[in-house]
Structure 1
Amino acid sequence: MVIENKEQEIPIWHKYTLTIKEASIYTNIGQKKIRELINDPLCTFVLRMNGKALIKRKDFEEWINDNEYI
């Protein structure tokens, strides 16, 4: 999947952070479940900026690899 940017197209696997929608598409995990995960105070793969939550892609991938159930 390629995410379209007004200035250029950046492949999703090259992006450092993902929106919840992008993370959902990339991982096939529902947006509702991702929102539940990032609302956990111990979540290490979320970056909050001006009220917006961004998912740190590599950290999220590692978290998925380390867990068998969510």
Structure 2
Amino acid sequence: MTQIQTVSDRIQTRKLSFLRNRVMYTKYIPIILINGKHAYVADESTPSGLMECDTREEARNKAREYRDHAKARIAVKEE
């Protein structure tokens, strides 16, 4: 596991389409920037292994939540 050194304030979402059982699903995936690289938010309960949101606003809120959680982990380690 890579050590988290910096977490950017920027967040992103990406619209991805998945084909499951011959049905096309379009979902929004939250992305945060860690150590200058894009990091997709993982979710083991979904078939893709990524957090899948139905709306872009929901994905943005989840990205903010995980970004803040990552920043809090850094703050605790620095103390």
Q: TM-score, normalised by structure 2?
A: 0.29
Q: Which has the higher strand share?
A: 2
Q: Which has the higher contact order (CA 8 A, sep 6+)?
A: 2
Higher helix proportion (structure 1 or 2): 1
